[in-house]
Amino acid sequence: MNDIYMDHAATTPVNQDVIKAMQPFYSDKFANPASSHLPGQKSAAALEDAREAVAKLVGTKKAEEIVFTAGGTEADNLALKGAAMALSKQGKHIITSAIEHHAVLKSCEYLEKHLGFEITYLEVDQAGLVDPQKLRDNIRKDTILISIMFANNEIGSVQPIKELAAVAGENNILFHTDAVQAVGQLKIDVNELGVDLLSLSAHKFNGPKGIGALFVRKGVELTPQMSGGSQERKRRAGTANLTAAVGMGKAAEIAAANLTKKSKELILLRDYFFSQLKSNFDNLKINGPAPKSENRLPANINIAFKDLDAESILFNLSLNNIAAATGSACASGSLSVSHVLKAIGLEDKYAKGSIRFSLGKGNNKEEIDYVIKKLKEIIARLNSLK
């Protein structure tokens, strides 16, 4: 069996059509989009075409509402810090959830430590979901921003974003969502959802690394976090990463065209995976929403084995050419239990044995059968060593 890659939540392979689209911009069409000469104007046109493709993917007809960034982390930083600094005179209270990506949590920590903001971290239920009523109950007169992730990168919880954004809208509070894991798997329409800010990253939907974007609804004020030139309509300084932006645009175009088909295929594979796990393992706990729940990402399988060590399981999977993860790749190397698993109240005897499989391009039932076979051998061996 060839290498089996089931860690698409960490990153995805770049689509060959994306690579082909990017190639000319490395050498032949390399001009700076900010230059006024003809080659520069052609580069600027290519940049705007990419912006329009990304805009279409998230449901806005206003391409100028898309700000290119260096990735999802920068997009989150720009959203949180940029909005907080711009609105600091109106209030210094921000609401987020206890299971956000570290890009959001660390931004909140920075605002709290250095700029005097107060952060409320909403608890989630056992499925990792935020209750809209709980959000409503925690709003204060000085609340200026609410940031709740669209879908969790570890346990796959898909939040009721439309309802949560409506609560923010009722109170005239800006609403941001980190949709890095959702874009490319779920239909996104920023206007239907009612969000003001939305983060995404190209390498999560078969685009290149090093490029992301932030949707910024027209009229929303942000304090730039990069000082320099007037690029991105004065919202993000720095020479545009044209080649990567073109790649992101092409990946967005492909993702939009294939979204329904891809989502259905992933759900079928995910459900098959869960059925095989249920048939072959006792003492197995599923982390996050129920396997077939609409509140679970199509590609996400997060499970926990009682009284076993996740790193040992992953090491043995790797020896069998299977790539999986314990959770967020951004937190790899940490021996502590994930903040997400703590937030959903998972007992330590399960939390330490939690692993995540995330499906994507190239995965099939044959690979799943092989993974189940090897996983049975690994779990049996590890249990015998207790």
| Domains, the chain, ordered by start | 4-11+258-384 (3.90.1150.10), 16-254 (3.40.640.10)
pLDDT tens digits along 276-331: 999 999 889 999 999 999 999 999 999 999 999 999 999 999 999 999 998 644 44
Residue of 330, 331, 337, 382 marked active site: 330
Average pLDDT, the chain: 96
**Which tens digit of pLDDT belongs to each residue from 45-101?**
999 999 999 999 999 999 999 999 999 999 999 999 999 999 999 999 999 999 999
The stretches of 139-241 forming alpha helices (DSSP H) are 161-170, 190-193, 231-234
In the chain, count H helices and then E strands: 14, 12
pLDDT digits (tens, 9 = 90+) for 108-152: 999 999 999 999 999 999 999 999 999 999 999 999 999 999 999
Measured CA to CA, the distance from residue 248 to residue 131 in angstroms comes to: 33
Q: What are phi and psi of 192, to 5 degrees?
A: -65, -40
Has 108 been annotated as catalytic? no
Q: Rounded to an integer, what distance in angstroms lies between the CA atom of residue 347 and that of residue 352?
A: 9
